[in-house]
Chains A and B, each alone.
Chain A
Amino acid sequence: MKEQFEPVIVAFCCHYCAYTAADMAGSQRLVYPPNVKIIRVPCSGKVDSIHILKAFEKGADGVYVAGCLDGDCHFKNGNDKASRKVAQMMRYLEEIGIEPERLEMVKMSAGMGERFARIATEMTEKIRKLGPSPIKAAAA
C-alpha cells in the first residue's frame, strides 16, 4: 500500500506576531498537521531570498513567510518588504519550474492562534495535493 505523501513545510515566523500566534495555538491546543516546521526570525522582513531558495534546494515541499498584519509591524514596514520579496520569489520559482503556489506570504496578529493553525492546515493540504517538490523528485 502506498503511503500518503507527507510534505515538509518551512514556516518563517516573525517573533512578534506569527511566532506568538503559534504559541497561542499551542496554549489553546488547536490541532494542525506536524508537517509545518517553524523557524523564528525577528521580523518577516529579515527573511532573505537565499533562505527561501535554500529551503527549496534542500528539499522543502512548501515554504511560507508569516508576518504581522498590515500596519502592525514592530519595525514599521518589514512585513511589506517581506510581501514584496515573496511575490518576487514566486515569479522566480515559476521561471525555474517550481509551482509558485509552494511559496506564500501570510499575515496574522499575535492573538490569532486559530488563524495560525488554519493556515498551517490549509498549506499542508495544498502542498499535499501538489505532490513532492520537483527538486526533490529530480534528486531522487
Chain B
Amino acid sequence: MQNLDRSHTSKPVLVVGGGLGGIRTALDLAEADKNVVLVDTAHNIGGLMTQLDRTFPTNNCDLCTLAPNLSESNRQEHIKLMAMTRVEAVSGEKGNFKVSLKTEPRYINLDKCTGCGECLKAFPECVTFTPGLDHRAPTCMRYPQATPQAYSIDLTRCGDVEALVKCCPTGAINPDDLGSRGDVACSSIVLAPGASLFDPSGLDYLGYSDHVDVVTSLEYERLLSASGPTSGRLLRPSTGEPPKRVAWIQCIGSRGLQRGAAPYCSGACCMFALKEAMVSKERFREDIETTIFYMDMRTFGKDYERYYQRAKNEFGVRFIHSRPHSVLMNEASGGIVLGYTTDDTPKLLSEAFDMVVLSIGFRIGDEMRSLATMLGIDVNDSSFPVHPGLNQVETTRPGIYVAGAFEAPKDIPETMVQASAAACMAGKDVIPLEKEIEEAPALPLERNVVGEQPRVGVFICDCGENIGSVIDVEKLAERVSVFEHVAVAMAAGHGCSRESMEQIRQTIEEQEINRVVIGGCSPRTHEAKFQDLIRKAGLNKYLLEFANIRDQVTWVHSHQPEKAMAKAEDLLKMAVGAVCKAHPLAEHSLPINKNVLVIGGGVAGMTASLELADQGFRVYLVEQSNRLGGIAANLKRTLEGHDVQAFVHNLIERTQSHDSIEVIMGGMIVDHTGMPGMFTTGMQVGRQMFYRQIEHGVTILATGALPNRPNLFGLGTGKQIVTQLDLQTTIHDDPEKVRSWENVVMIQCVGSRTEDNPNCSRICCQNAVKNALHLLDVNPDVRIFVLYRDMRTYAFQEEYYQKARERGVIFVRYQQDQPPQVKLVGDHVEVTYRDIILGRDVKVTADCLCLSTGLIANEDSNEEMARIFKLPRSEDGYFLEDHIKLRPVDLPVPGFFVAGTAHAPKLISESLVQARAVASRAQTILARDAINLGAATAKVDGKLCAACLICVRACPFNVPFINADGYSEIDPAKCHGCGICAAECPAKAIQLMQFEDDMIISKLEQLFEKVEA
C-alpha cells in the first residue's frame, strides 16, 4: 500500500464503487493530477463486468479489455484503493467532507500475498476461486486478473486456522486481522456503486426456483464464460448436455409488469439478450435454436439497431412479440414448456425449450438505499438518486455526484461517459493547494552501456511454490550462469518483493551489470515494475527481458519436471540472447499546449467550453453559423418538464461572458496539422473569410446533427403534416389551435430504422410521449394515436409512457412492411393503419399528422471535418469513437474527443453528460506538461529505404510518408508500435524498437543452439 498521508496536498475525491464506472472516474481524476480514494465493498475491483463473457455490440471478450484498466488503476500513484471497505458516515460540505470508512478484515496481508493459490489448494472451503453459478458463494478472487491480485479468507469456514496460516509460503495470512476504521477528509464524493439485479425467485410462474434450467441472464452469461463454472461449455444444468432450444423472456422485474417489478425499463437487457443469443448461435450454429420473447426491442444506442438486425437476419435469432404467461415443467421429457399468446391469434400457444433465460433488470438494493439515506441525497420512488436540473451526474447534495447504473439503469458505454462526467464535476471541487514540489526520489544518471561487452544479470524467481515446487531454481541459476555474456545468475525468491528488488538493484550496481533478464512471471503484469527497478539501478528501462517461466513452464508442465527444467533453461537462454542485442531507448515526449479548440456552439460545445474554462484553460469555441445554441435553441421543455429555453439562454450568456472563452462565430475549419499537445488549426472567419490559425493541445468536436426531414408520409405537402419539432412549437406558441383539434396521429420511425437510415434515432419515442402528454395538458379532449414499431422509452421514460397510456393515448403497433397510408383531405389528413390485433384496417381523420423524424448526421460538415482531421465515421456519418465500450468519447486520433449528437442522436441531458465527459478526458491530457509516447515505435533507416510505398500502404494508421529527402519517415508521435511496416518492408529498412529483428532472431538462434550442436 502506498503512503496514505496526503495532508500536504489538496484533499482527494472519494469514489464509492470499484466497478467499471468508479475505475474510470478514479483514472480520469488521477490522470488530471488529482488524488482519489477508491473504496469498494468487494474483495477485488471490477464490478459486474468481470462476470460477463462478452459484451455487445462488438462481442469481444471483456477481460481482455477490462483487465488492463484494472491493473492501471492499481498502478496510478494518485489512487488509494481500499477493497472490502464501506462508507459509514459523511459530514461536512462540498470542498470539505469528512468520511468515516470501515474496512473488513481480509486476513491476508496484501503486501505479502502473491496470488499463488496455495491457500486455495489446501483449504478450498474457505478460500474460493471458482465463480460458480451461485453468486452468493464467497467468490473472493473471481477472475484471474483480479486487482488487488490477492486472495481473501473466510475465517468462519476454516477448521484449522494454524494449518491455514502455515500453508502460505510468504506468511501473508494473518488470522488476527481486525480490519480497520478511519476518517478521510475529501473535497467531493462520486457514487458509482452500480445496481443490483432483480431476483426472480419470488415469481413462481417463471419456475426459477423449481427448475435448474431456468436461469437469469447473468447466470447464462457465466455458463458461456471461459472463466465460468463450465469453463465456457454451454451445458444444461439439469442434464449436463448442450441445450438445443433456448428461450429468453424480456422485461423480468422491469416495466411494472410482474409482482414486485419496477416501473422503469432497465435499458440494457434487450441488447444483453441479443448478445447472448448471438454468441450462442456463433458457437453452436445449427445445433442451437434461440428465441427471444419481447415486448419492445429497445436497441436505441449507437449502431445497436444494426446489431438487432444482424441477430435477426444473419444469425437467425427468432423473435416473438409476446409475454409468456407460464413456464411449466414437462415431467416426462424433463424440458420446459412456455405458454404464450401472440397479437395475431386468440389461441393459446405453447412451445418446449431446454433452457429458459430470464432477462432480469436492475434494482437499487438495500445497501445502496441506505447509502443514499446516510448521505442525505434525494431519491425517486425507485430509490435512484434524483438530479435537480439537467445535469444527470449531480445529486441534491452539492459536492456529491453519481455515475453509472446507480444514477439510472444503463449499459457500459453510458456508464463510462457518466463516470468521466462525474470526474469532471468532482474535480472542480478540489481546491488546488500551492503545488508543493514533491521530492520525487532522484534517479541516478543513466549509465552509457553502448559499446560495452554485455554483462547480463539473470534473476530467477521461485514465486514461492509456483516455480520452486516444480524446478530447482538454484540449479537452474547454476546452469544459466555458464551462458555466454551472463555475469551473474541467481535465485531471487519472490523477485517482486521489496527485499528481493533491493537485492537485485544492489547486484546490478555492484557487479556492473548492463543488461537484465528476469525469469519469473509475465511481462504483461510485471514488466513496468522491473523496468522501474533497473532504471533506479542506473540502467535504461529497455535493457530488460523477461522469461515467463511461471505461466509458460511451471504452471503448465508441472507433471514433467525434467522437461520443465529444460524448457525454462531454453526460455532463459533466449531472453539472454535477446537482451544482449537490446539498445537503450529514449521515450518520446512532447510539451503540451494547454489551449482547447471546441468546434460547435450547441449545448454540448458550450458546456464543454465552460467546464474547461472554469478549470483555467483557454478555450476557442468555433461556431459555423452566426448563433449559439444549436438544435436545443428550438426546444421548449424536456419530458421531465425542465425549461430548455431558460437553460440555453443562461448557457449562451455564461459562454459569451467568460474571460477564458473566445467565441468565434461564422468560423469554418479549413486546415489542420500537428500532433496531440501541439495542434495548429486554420479557419476562415466571418463574411470576409478572414483566415486565422489557432494553436491548441486538444480538439473537441461538438458539431451536432441535423433534424431529419425525409419526404415520407406527405411531409411538406400540407401544413397539417408536421414533425415532432414543429408540433412542440405549435403547442407552445399556439395553444388555441391545439384546443380546436379532435384527432392527432403520430407515426414513429419516420426516416429511421429504414434501409436508407438503418439506425434508431433514440429521441423520438420519448418525444412523442412528451408531446402527447403536453397536448393533453392543453386539450384534454383530443384523441391521440401513436403508430409505432417498438416503443423505446428506456429507463425512467417508461413511466411517462405508462402515464400517456393511462391518460388515453392510443398506442398501436405497425409492421415495417405494412406502413400506415396517408391522404390529405381538405384541412384534414386521413390516416389508415392495419390494426394487428383486430386484424383489419382502421381509418382516422386527423387534424394533425405528426411524424417522428429524428436526427441524421450532418453529412457535408462531418465529411469535411473527417477529411481535415483524418477521423473515421460510422456508416451513417457520425464520428466513430475509439472504443465503443471503454473509450466512448475519445476519438481514435489522440487528442480528439467527441460530444453530443455529433457522436449519435441523444437527448440534451445526455449531450451534457458527454460534454462534461470530454472536459474530463481533455484534462487528462492538459494536466500533463509533456506527453510520453513510449519507445516502441518504428524507425526507418533512410539509407536502406527505396521509397517503395509498401509501408505507407501497410500501416493501419497511415503514419509513414515519403519525406522531402525521398525516403519513408515515421513520426514517432503518431506510431502505434504494431511493427506491421517492419514486417512488410522488403528492404528491411524499418525496425520496430524494443522488438528489433536481431533480437527476435537471436532468440531463435539461442533456442536452437544445442539442436544444431
| Residues of A bordering B, CB below 8 Å | 8, 10, 15-17, 19-20, 22-34, 37-43, 45-51, 54-55, 58-60, 71-72, 74-78, 81, 85, 109-114, 117, 136, 139
Contact = CB atoms under 8 A, between A and B. Distances in A.
Interface string B981-1013: 011100010001001010011011101100110
Nearest to B980: A45
Nearest to A47: B983
Contact of B226 (A26, A60, A113): A113
B567 interface: yes
Interface pairs A-B: 10 shortest CB-CB: A26-B551, A46-B979, A110-B64, A75-B978, A76-B956, A58-B1008, A45-B980, A26-B555, A111-B61, A59-B1008
5 contacts: A15-B524, A25-B556, A31-B558, A46-B983, A51-B1001
Contacts of A15: 524
Given A23-B548, A26-B550, A111-B62, 15 more contacts: A20-B524, A25-B551, A29-B556, A34-B564, A34-B566, A42-B995, A43-B978, A45-B980, A46-B982, A47-B983, A49-B983, A59-B1011, A76-B956, A81-B983, A110-B63
A111 B63 contact: yes
B982 to A, nearest CB: 7
A111 B984 CA distance: 29
A34 B563 contact: yes
Contact of A75 (B226, B553, B976, B1012): B976
B548 A38 contact: yes
Contacts of A71: 58
Contacts of B1012: 58-59, 139
A43 B980 CA distance: 8
B524 A37 contact: no
Nearest to B938: A46
Given A25-B556, A31-B557, A46 B978 contact: yes
Contacts of A33: 557
Contact residues of B: prevailing secondary structure: helix
A39 B1003 contact: yes
Contacts of B922: none
A45 B555 contact: no
Q: Pick the most buried of A28, A42, A78: most chain B CB atoms within 10 A of its CB.
A: A42
B997 A78 contact: no
How many chain B residues sit at the interface, stated as a range, is: 35 or more
A55 B64 CA distance: 29
A76 B892 CA distance: 11
A41 B1003 CA distance: 12
A119 to B, nearest CB: 13
Contact of B984 (A17, A54, A75, A81): A81
Nearest to A139: B1012
Contacts, number: 156
A58 B1004 contact: yes
A34 B552 CA distance: 9
B556 A10 contact: no
B1007 A58 contact: yes
B557 A34 contact: yes
B552 A38 contact: yes
Interface of B: 58, 60-64, 67, 144, 226-227, 231-232, 522-524, 548, 550-553, 555-560, 563-564, 566-567, 570-571, 574, 936, 954, 956-957, 976-980, 982-984, 988, 992, 995, 997, 1000-1001, 1003-1005, 1007-1008, 1011-1012
A58 B983 contact: no
A26 B552 contact: yes
B254 to A, nearest CB: 29
Contacts of A43: 978-980
Q: Pick the most buried of B550, B988, B1004: most chain A CB atoms within 10 A of its CB.
A: B1004
Nearest to B522: A23
Nearest to B1000: A51
A64 to B, nearest CB: 14
Contact of A42 (B61, B564, B992): B992
Contacts of B559: 31
A29 B120 CA distance: 14
Contacts of B555: 26-27, 29
A74 to B, nearest CB: 8
B1007 A10 contact: yes
Contact of B60 (A10, A38, A59, A109): A109
Contact of A58 (B560, B567, B984, B1005): B1005
A82 to B, nearest CB: 8
Q: Pick the most buried of A28, A48, A81, A112: most chain B CB atoms within 10 A of its CB.
A: A48
Q: Pick the most buried of A27, A30, A47, A111: most chain B CB atoms within 10 A of its CB.
A: A111
A3 B1012 CA distance: 19
Contact of B997 (A28, A50, A55): A50
Contacts of B1003: 39
A78 B1012 CA distance: 33
A41 B559 CA distance: 28
Given A42-B992, A46-B979, A50-B997, A8 B552 contact: no
B379 to A, nearest CB: 37
Given A34-B567, A37-B570, A42-B995, A112 B226 contact: yes
A60 B983 contact: no
A41 B995 CA distance: 7
A114 B232 contact: yes
Given A8-B1011, A34-B560, A111-B64, A55 B1004 contact: yes
Contacts of A42: 936, 977-979, 992, 995
A77 B60 contact: no
Contacts of A60: 1004, 1008
A35 to B, nearest CB: 8
B227 A111 contact: yes
A72 B980 contact: no
A10 to B, nearest CB: 7
Contacts of B566: 34
A39 B842 CA distance: 70
Contacts of B144: 24, 27-28
Nearest to B1007: A37
B556 A26 contact: yes
Given A37-B1007, A51-B1001, A54-B1004, A109 B61 contact: yes
A49 to B, nearest CB: 8
Contacts of B564: 34
Contacts of B977: 42
Q: Pick the most buried of B552, B566, B997, B1005: most chain A CB atoms within 10 A of its CB.
A: B552
B976 to A, nearest CB: 6
Contacts of A110: 61, 63-64, 67
Nearest to A71: B58
A34 B1003 CA distance: 17
Contacts of B552: 22, 26, 38
A81 B953 CA distance: 12
A100 to B, nearest CB: 20
A34 B551 contact: no
A78 B1000 CA distance: 18
Given A46-B995, A48-B997, A81-B954, A40 B980 contact: no
Contacts of A136: 1011
Given A26-B552, A26-B556, A37-B571, A46 B1004 contact: no
A40 B523 contact: yes
B995 A109 contact: no
Contacts of B563: 34
Nearest to A15: B524
Given A34-B563, A45-B978, A51-B1000, A78 B232 contact: no
Contacts of B1007: 8, 10, 37, 58
A74 B1007 CA distance: 29
B886 to A, nearest CB: 13
A115 to B, nearest CB: 9
Contacts of A31: 556-559
A84 to B, nearest CB: 10
Contacts of B553: 34
Contacts of A139: 1012
B525 to A, nearest CB: 8
